[in-house]
Every structure is written in C-alpha cells, then in structure tokens.
Amino acid sequence: MSAETGPADETLESQVREAERRLEEAATLAAEAERRAAAEIEALEADLGREREEKERALAAAEERLGEIEAQVEAAEQRVEAAESRAATVEETIADELAKAREGAAQWLQGQLDTLRREAESR
C-alpha cells in the first residue's frame, strides 16, 4: 500500500470537509431558528400574560359595576315598596273619607226627608 494520497482520497476528503461544513452550517441555522422560536414563544407568553391581566381587570370592573347596579336595584325596590306602602295608606284614608262623606250625605238626606215628612204631615 502506498502512503501517498491519491485523487480518490482527496476527493473523499473534500467531500467529507464539505459535508462537515454543511453540517456546521445546518447546526448554526438550526441554533438560530431555535433562538428565534424561543424569542417568539417568550413574546407570545408575554402577550398572553398581558391579555390575561386585561381580561382580569375587565372582569373585576364588570363585577364592580354589577355590584353597583345590584345596589341601585335594591335601593329602587325599597323605594317602590315604600311608595306602595304610602299609596296603600292614602287609599285607606281616601276610602275612610269617602265612607264618612257618604255617611254624612246619607244623614243629611235622611234629615231632609224627615223635614219634608214633618212639613207634609203638618199640612
């Protein structure tokens, strides 16, 4: 065997060096792609975190507003109940006054009838 390298050996070495270079280049590209993917994932996670915080703030504000609305509804219901109670009292008073007026009118009419009868009897 000869210690000299022949053209086939040089071609093989050249192919090996070219394959190693391409492998290194592919590894570099893969590492860069991995860094970009990691950066994109971090950005997406940050966006997701901000969106969650915004939604939590919006939900908290909505819950606070709901509490205010519920308190307003409760106050309005209490005012309605108070107004209904006052209206019932007024209706009772009116009914009592109407009954007294009718009774007074009936008594007056009865008095008029009695007077007319007495006048008619005296004639």
In the chain, where are the structural domains located?
7-88
Q: What's the rounded mean pLDDT across residues 61-73?
A: 98
CB atoms within 10 A of CB 12: 12
Instruction: Round to whole Å and give the CA distance between 57 and 63.
Output: 10
Mean per-residue pLDDT of the chain: 93
Predicted model pTM = 0.52
Instruction: Round to whole Å and give the CA distance between 14 and 87.
Output: 106
How high is the pLDDT of residue 8? Answer: 80
Dihedral sign for Cα atoms in the order 90, 91, 97, 100: negative
How high is the pLDDT of residue 1? Answer: 43
Q: What's the rounded mean pLDDT across residues 57-66?
A: 98
Q: What's the rounded mean pLDDT across residues 42-70?
A: 98
Q: What's the rounded mean pLDDT across residues 97-119?
A: 94
Q: What's the rounded mean pLDDT across residues 76-84?
A: 98
